[in-house]
Chain A
Amino acid sequence: MKNIGIDLGSRYVKLVKETNGNIEYKLFDTVSFYKQYIARDGANTYINIKKLGFNDDYKIVATGYGRNLMSFSNAEIISEIKAHFRGALRQTGDDSFILMDIGGQDSKVILGKEGYIEDFIMNDKCAASTGRFAENACSVLGISIDELSEMQHNPASLSSTCAVFCESELIGLMAQGVEIESIAAGINKSIAKRLLPLIKSFQADTIYVSGGVANNKSLILFISQLIGKNVMPLNNPQFNGALGCLPL
């Protein structure tokens, strides 16, 4: 069995290759991936598997933002909701749970019951609960995403409702001498607060988190505190969508 699963995200392209049960993980910058590995042959657009270093005999299933815009002659396309749900089924072995995926550009919560998608909800048109917001905030504060993940003490209160305006609020807090750790903890808490209404839409005891943002330990802590339940990041949170493209 030779399969490739690809999750074409807004920030990163996640690729998993499964050969006889062994899985290999690859991460690409989205823009570089499109430039290097998406090719055209007449009217057909395809993923240049040979250039990626693989043989032609892999079955490719892809998902990602802009499913309706994507059409590759050598890949089957499935929806992000389906891919993330299947990824969680595969990674956890559970069949009933809430999965929260925090992506680069959107957040979604999926309710799974007995192996089927029962319902799902996505964030409204706002970037303030996404990975992109965390990235921008880090660049304003001059810290890395890994450093942000550690910051949870004495969270500063952030009042701005908008990811763009929030940047000037961060600068204002720095100008007032508020400690970077406190501001960063405030960012983590504000993302958690924005995600709360999405998670509260559904009832289930088991809550998993996927997406690159799931690696942010402090954010996971704030979400757990706010909903009063244990929230568990998946093992390979960033690759969950790509794993969901592989056969179960």
Chain B
Amino acid sequence: MKRIGFTTTIPVEFILAGGNIPVDLNNIFVCSPNPNHLIDEAQNDGLPRNCCSWIKGLYSVAVKEKAVDEIISVTNGDCSNTHALTELYAANNIKVHLFAYPYEEKEPYTALKNQMLVLGSAFNVTFDDVYECCKITDKVRKKLKKIDELTVQGYVTGFENHLYLVSSTDFNSDVDKFSKDADELIEKASKRNIENKYVRLGCIGVPTINPAMYDFIESKNCKIVFNEVQRQFSIPSENPDYVKRYLEYTYPYSVMDRIKDIKKQVQERKIDGLIHYVQSFCYRQIQDILIKKHLDIPVLTIEGDSPGDIDGRTKIRIDSFIEMLEMKKKKRSI
């Protein structure tokens, strides 16, 4: 039983079906007792100051903390910094498997299936094994959908939604415990009284490195009812074809596919405004242009760099944004 780390969401059933333990390196980094120390360690080894903190955290948890035995590096569908990170892993004698989501391949289905087959052969897992494993994980994914529904209805907080959906990439390395925790949350949340909040917000973009922003936002007259990428990380597609689920997963593909998904969710969840979180030095910051161009609802872009609380400046922006949405909504209801 090996601890298999990965740099972003991968078809996790390939790890579980092989009897191995999945470890999302991002979660290990951000949940560590002192994530900023991990960033410092990476910088001390020479990783540039103007490089995304996630990459530095991913470097240190694997190279310094030796949190995993082997790593799956996602070389397509995530940022190209992962390429250099992969080279650093290899230079530090960590066994690395590559996984690439299709990018403009003529036959994306075949390309993705082939990638999965390569992964399967590395861990001695067949598609039959994966489908068998899905019998267990699909039940957990259904619970995540319930948590998401309860978020839309107002029973589950934006932070709880973020936490459960983002943690589903590796099920916190323990599917059984994760499943029980999800049951507990559903039971506890269902009994809560719904607080009537005036403004309904959605969070889009990569998961924030500053989860404290959730409590700050929801301390206002405001409810977060959507976490875009976190929801995608939970693989919401129920397609009976396992490969297709990961083609319908929007995160590794064109931003236009993400925009389609966001538009649909904005309508279904009756969202008044969106907060687009971008990570400092991340290529996805550029996609903000297209997001603002194609979404016809107010979008506030906020930027985070290191773990910790959000800074005063970001709080001012969020405050003003919510205030603006409140005024607009009141105006519409006159």
A interface list, Cβ under 8 A from B: 65-69, 79-82, 106, 116-120, 122, 124-125, 201
**Which residue of B292, B298, B312, B331 is within 8 Å of A65 (Cβ)?**
B312
**Which residue of B280, B316, B321 is within 8 Å of A66 (Cβ)?**
B316
Count of chain B residues with Cβ under 8 Å from any Cβ of A?
A: 17
What 0/1 readout, one digit per residue, does chain B (285-328) give for beta carbons within 8 Å of chain A?
Answer: 00000001000001000010000000011011101110110011
Assess the A116–B312 pair: CB atoms within 8 A.
Answer: no
Assess the B323–A116 pair: CB atoms within 8 A.
Answer: no
Docked CA distance A125–B278 (Å): 12
Assess the A116–B317 pair: CB atoms within 8 A.
Answer: no
**Which residue of A80, A117, A119, A124 is within 8 Å of B316 (Cβ)?**
A80
Docked CA distance A69–B319 (Å): 12
Assess the A125–B316 pair: CB atoms within 8 A.
Answer: no
Q: Which residue of A lies closest to B321 (CB)?
A: A120
**Interface centre among B320, B323, B324, B327, by most A CB within 10 Å?**
B320
Residues of chain A within 8 A (CB-CB) of B292 are: 201
Q: List 25 A-B contacts (CB under 8 A).
A: A65-B312, A65-B316, A66-B312, A67-B316, A68-B312, A68-B316, A79-B319, A80-B320, A81-B320, A81-B323, A81-B324, A82-B323, A116-B327, A116-B328, A117-B324, A117-B328, A118-B328, A119-B298, A120-B320, A120-B321, A120-B324, A122-B313, A122-B317, A125-B280, A125-B303
Assess the B312–A117 pair: CB atoms within 8 A.
Answer: no
- Min CB distance B332 to A, Å, is 10
Residues of chain A within 8 A (CB-CB) of B312 are: 65-66, 68-69
- Min CB distance B334 to A, Å, is 11
Docked CA distance A81–B327 (Å): 13
- Min CB distance A50 to B, Å, is 29
Give the A-B pair count, Cβ closer than 8 A: 43
Docked CA distance A125–B314 (Å): 10
Docked CA distance A80–B324 (Å): 12
Residues of chain A within 8 A (CB-CB) of B331 are: 116
B interface list, Cβ under 8 A from A: 280, 292, 298, 303, 312-313, 315-317, 319-321, 323-324, 327-328, 331
**Which residue of A65, A68, A117 is within 8 Å of B327 (Cβ)?**
A117
Docked CA distance A69–B315 (Å): 10
Residues of chain A within 8 A (CB-CB) of B317 are: 122
The 5 closest A-B pairs by CB, nearest first: A81-B320, A79-B320, A68-B315, A117-B324, A66-B312
Residues of chain B within 8 A (CB-CB) of A124 are: 303
Docked CA distance A124–B317 (Å): 11
Docked CA distance A120–B324 (Å): 9
Assess the A79–B327 pair: CB atoms within 8 A.
Answer: no
Residues of chain B within 8 A (CB-CB) of A201 are: 292
Q: Which residue of B lies closest to A77 (CB)?
A: B319
- Min CB distance B222 to A, Å, is 14
Residues of chain A within 8 A (CB-CB) of B328 are: 116-118
10 new A-B contacts, CB < 8 A, other than A79-B323, A120-B321, A125-B313, are: A65-B312, A67-B315, A68-B315, A69-B312, A81-B324, A82-B320, A106-B313, A116-B327, A122-B317, A201-B292
